[in-house]
Structure 1
Amino acid sequence: MALSGPSTARTLFAVRTWLYVLAALVIAMIAVGGATRLTGSGLSITEWKPVTGAIPPLTEQAWVAEFEKYRQIPQYELVNKGMTLGEFKFIYAWEWGHRQLGRLIGLVFFLPLVFFWWRGAIKGRLALTLLGIGALGGLQGAVGWIMVASGLEPGMTAVAPIKLALHLTVASVILACLVWVAAGLRKHEPTEAQIEPRLGAVPAVLACLVLLQIALGGLVAGSKAGFTYNTWPLMDGSVVPPGSVLFSVTPWIENFVDNLALVQFNHRIVAYGIVILALWHVWSVSRRAPASKAGRRARAVAGLAIGQMVLGIATLLLVVPLWAGLLHQVFAMVVLSMAVVHTRVSRDAVA
């Protein structure tokens, strides 16, 4: 996707840099969201105030009022009963920071968008695409509140796994869209299309599989499936658990969300599939064009996928310490970004 109308190289660079800065902020947002989840902080703010919520409690009386709201929800009664005000301030800070970062991303998106549009740097299809990404960002805020609200219902002590997975997936789609557009604004060398091999659908399939794996990881995180079956390569003594374990929940469709064994098994299997396909892709590209940029990108995707799988295994074996869980989540975004760049550049180079 190119800029419409004449534009200078400096303007092109500015727009691309802006999009990559946004992508970095989205990754930071996902990291803070992961820390919020792992510290049990996500339900500390029990109301959704998109504007006035930007101001945290400023007086001791305001803090006591916020704490009293938290003491009314099931998580406090069933998990954190007896928590001190100081402990509440700690979990409140994580959730407030997460929401505040979301507001910052909104500003960093819309203010430069208006500026570039006013200057004529963004027009036509590019403008519509960016507006679509902005709308997706607004939807993400609503999805985030729907997720939090699911954890405030009677008997709930955490958010619903399927809604957490949806929240993470939408964030990942926003990241992928930003990277896709930014990568499409790069300047291609005149001879690049002549040396780049046609890669077909494999790069896109890899990117889609990584996105699917992130969604499955959201289910693992939401259901806390990573705290069970903490062995590898076996699960409860076997590579493939018996069907009576994987499909023990009735109706059977609910196993994909509520059965910890199947939730974790699916996450493992898709990881193996991504690594196998990425390695085959490296072999295929290297055989046809060993010195091409496509080959280097394919190796980067494969290397990152292998690194992410190793990190996932370590996170499982260590029973999800905070640092490992966060690193595993953030590194998934790096893998996704590289897979999207590979897909976009490969497509544009042979267009």
Structure 2
Amino acid sequence: MPKILFISIPNSCTAMLNLSRLCRCKQSLSAVQSKLLVSSRNGFSNSIISRQIITTTKMHRYNILGRFSLSSTIKSNSIIMRFCSSTPKPKTSRAVGYWLLGCSGMVFTAVVLGGVTRLTESGLSMVTWRLLGEKMPTNEEEWQKEFEKYQQYPEFKYKNQNITFSDFKWIWYMEFAHRTWGRAIGAAMFLPAAYFWYRGMLLPDMKIRVAVYCGLVAAQGLMGWYMVKSGLEDRFHGPSDVPRVSQYRLAAHLSLAFILYAGLLGGALRVLRPFPAAATLQKIKELKSITGLAHAVKAMTFITAVSGAFVAGLDAGLVYNSFPKMGDNWLPDDILAFSPTIKNFTENPTTVQFDHRVLGASTLAAASTLWLLSRRRPLSPGARAAARALAAMAWMQAGLGVATLLCYVPTALAASHQAGSLVLLSLAVWLTHEVKLLKYIPK
């Protein structure tokens, strides 16, 4: 906010001299965005004397020194002066940045843990949901009651009729750990947010961001239960039906997690590596292609990850376990087997896997092109390192995907592949932030 100083100059010479001693400017006024508006006692004048005071060229033209005293102006004119100066914007506490960074790390862990839960088919072991968490069984009788609840639902009836009591405990623990970690994220998000908000440590724009983050955390928890509920419904009647959660709800659940993670990481970078306050955002032609492609890689990483959720939801990684061809063909015969055609893209395992392959290869090509362009652009060391790391991670992620496919989706490789998508997204967010920093030119 600009600071405004109103000074009324009386006719008394003694008061004028006293005031002039208080209004002596001891610092150079050059290169300051200020205006000195002068009005006489009888009416406002249109003269703006600040150009002769604060502009460097004017100071040299009129032989005005770097240090300027306002006393001469005040003594010779009975004036009312208003002095406006731009002050630096207040900064958000770095503690807020570290908090957001910690929450993003917790979300990263939750995504990996959720992937392991899905791969081990543990997600449907807990058939109830409570806002503050389910009580863990503490004795054999309580465990038996929990097992009896599980036996009433489709996964046991049509798939796990031969599951042992000890195996049930193991998958129950997996799902319990995932849900408990999700609630821990909620506590780590809401409680510090309330504290920072109450203590006035959040700027207006950061308040909006934090409110959105909290909303996403709440939506993520509700979507998680909505997803699990789809696998508990009695809709699996055919002999080939496999009880599983809806691939649509799984994709929505994963999408919210990725959006929340990218938002938290981006918010942390804005606090820990802030844009200069006294600067203007410039358009730099050399960075236009880098900026556009960096955002494209970020979007393609997100879309590819969402398509991976459909692969996981339909167990599409278990069909056509060959690369680069799918079986003996580049384009499988059953790629459009469903009718209407649009259903193939979200319900046909063959089509879903093919789409994921194409999106993964496209993301790899875009990240590699971005790295080649970055070598010929005026980037900072940080931005250049981010572009290099992004391209390297894209190749590693592609390798993990191929290995996961060829090995028939082992848990360790598949979980690493899902974690790799988050690492790739993190590097894309970092790169876009570093490139934007380069566009801020000090005034």
Long gaps (5+) in structure 1: none
- Asked if 1:286 is matched to 2:362, the reply is no
Residue 173 of structure 2 aligns to which amino acid in structure 1?
A: A
- Asked if 1:315 is matched to 2:399, the reply is no
Given that residues 122 and 175 in structure 2 are in contact (C-alpha distance below 8 angstroms), is that contact kept between their aligned partners in structure 1?
yes
SS at match of 2:222: helix
Q: Identify the residue that residue 30 of structure 1 maps to in structure 2.
A: 111
Deviations 1:196-245 (A, max 9, x none): 9443321111111100011000000111111111111111222333xx52
Deviations 1:81-106 (A, max 9, x none): 13222211111001111100011001
SS at match of 1:287: coil
Matched residues in 2 for 1:345 and 1:116: separation?
27
Ranked by relative contact order (alpha carbons within 8 Å, sequence separation 6 or more), the top structure is 1
Q: Identify the residue that residue 395 of structure 2 maps to in structure 1.
A: 306
Alignment match of 2:355 (pick from 246, 249, 266) = 266
Given that residues 188 and 349 in structure 1 are in contact (C-alpha distance below 8 angstroms), is that contact kept between their aligned partners in structure 2?
no
Deviations 1:29-76 (A, max 9, x none): 1111111111111001111111242x2112222111111110001110
Q: Identify the residue that residue 160 of structure 1 maps to in structure 2.
A: 246
Residue 183 of structure 1 aligns to which amino acid in structure 2?
A: L
How far the C-alpha of 1:149 sits from its partner, in A, is 0.7
Q: Identify the residue that residue 83 of structure 2 maps to in structure 1.
A: none
Segment drifting more, 263-272 vs 193-202: 193-202
Residue 202 of structure 1 aligns to which amino acid in structure 2?
A: L
Alignment match of 2:292 (pick from 201, 208, 211) = 201
Q: Identify the residue that residue 72 of structure 1 maps to in structure 2.
A: 152
Matched residues in 2 for 1:51 and 1:293: separation?
42
How far the C-alpha of 1:143 sits from its partner, in A, is 0.8
How far the C-alpha of 1:294 sits from its partner, in A, is 2.3
Matched residues in 1 for 2:192 and 2:379: separation?
40
Matched residues in 2 for 1:187 and 1:19: separation?
13
Matched residues in 2 for 1:230 and 1:276: separation?
22
How far the C-alpha of 1:123 sits from its partner, in A, is 2.7
Residue 175 of structure 1 aligns to which amino acid in structure 2?
A: Y
Deviations 1:250-272 (A, max 9, x none): 11111011111110011010111
Residue 239 of structure 1 aligns to which amino acid in structure 2?
A: W
Residue 59 of structure 1 aligns to which amino acid in structure 2?
A: N
By percentage of residues, which structure has more strand? Answer: 2
Q: Identify the residue that residue 256 of structure 1 maps to in structure 2.
A: 345
SS at match of 1:246: coil
Q: Identify the residue that residue 113 of structure 1 maps to in structure 2.
A: 193
Residue 114 of structure 1 aligns to which amino acid in structure 2?
A: A
Residue 319 of structure 2 aligns to which amino acid in structure 1?
A: T
SS at match of 1:185: helix
Q: Identify the residue that residue 145 of structure 1 maps to in structure 2.
A: 225
SS at match of 1:104: helix
SS at match of 2:272: coil
Segment drifting more, 57-66 vs 218-227: 57-66
Matched residues in 1 for 2:373 and 2:353: separation?
30
Matched residues in 1 for 2:273 and 2:164: separation?
56
Q: Identify the residue that residue 181 of structure 1 maps to in structure 2.
A: 267
How far the C-alpha of 1:290 sits from its partner, in A, is 6.5
Matched residues in 2 for 1:115 and 1:17: separation?
14
Matched residues in 1 for 2:348 and 2:380: separation?
46
Matched residues in 2 for 1:32 and 1:21: separation?
17
By percentage of residues, which structure has more helix? Answer: 1
Q: Identify the residue that residue 169 of structure 1 maps to in structure 2.
A: 255
Instruction: Mark the CA change 1:315 to 1:136 in structure 2 (over 3 Å): closer, same or farther.
Output: same
Q: Identify the residue that residue 40 of structure 1 maps to in structure 2.
A: 121
Matched residues in 1 for 2:342 and 2:300: separation?
21
Matched residues in 2 for 1:259 and 1:17: separation?
43
Instruction: Mark the CA change 1:290 to 1:340 in structure 2 (over 3 Å): closer, same or farther.
Output: closer
How far the C-alpha of 1:5 sits from its partner, in A, is 5.7
Residue 338 of structure 2 aligns to which amino acid in structure 1?
A: V
Q: Identify the residue that residue 102 of structure 1 maps to in structure 2.
A: 182
SS at match of 2:376: helix
Matched residues in 2 for 1:17 and 1:39: separation?
33
Q: Identify the residue that residue 325 of structure 2 maps to in structure 1.
A: 234
Residue 35 of structure 1 aligns to which amino acid in structure 2?
A: V
Instruction: Mark the CA change 1:217 to 1:205 in structure 2 (over 3 Å): closer, same or farther.
Output: same
Deviations 1:122-176 (A, max 9, x none): 1311111111111011111111111111101111611111211111111111101
Q: Identify the residue that residue 309 of structure 2 maps to in structure 1.
A: 218
Alignment match of 1:21 (pick from 98, 102, 107) = 102
TM-score, length-scaled by structure 1: 0.92
The aligned length equals: 342
- Asked if 1:6 is matched to 2:90, the reply is yes
TM-score, length-scaled by structure 2: 0.73
SS at match of 2:323: coil
Instruction: Mark the CA change 1:184 to 1:61 in structure 2 (over 3 Å): closer, same or farther.
Output: same
Alignment match of 2:336 (pick from 233, 247, 255) = 247
Alignment match of 1:127 (pick from 203, 207, 214) = 207
SS at match of 1:167: helix
Matched residues in 2 for 1:164 and 1:189: separation?
36
Matched residues in 2 for 1:280 and 1:103: separation?
40
SS at match of 1:201: helix
Matched residues in 1 for 2:98 and 2:303: separation?
27
Residue 359 of structure 2 aligns to which amino acid in structure 1?
A: V
Segment drifting more, 119-128 vs 146-155: 119-128
Long gaps (5+) in structure 2: 1-87, 237-241
Given that residues 231 and 317 in structure 1 are in contact (C-alpha distance below 8 angstroms), is that contact kept between their aligned partners in structure 2?
yes
Given that residues 379 and 438 in structure 2 are in contact (C-alpha distance below 8 angstroms), is that contact kept between their aligned partners in structure 1?
no
How far the C-alpha of 1:284 sits from its partner, in A, is 1.4
Greater Rg, structure 1 or structure 2? 2
Given that residues 184 and 348 in structure 1 are in contact (C-alpha distance below 8 angstroms), is that contact kept between their aligned partners in structure 2?
no
Residue 348 of structure 2 aligns to which amino acid in structure 1?
A: N
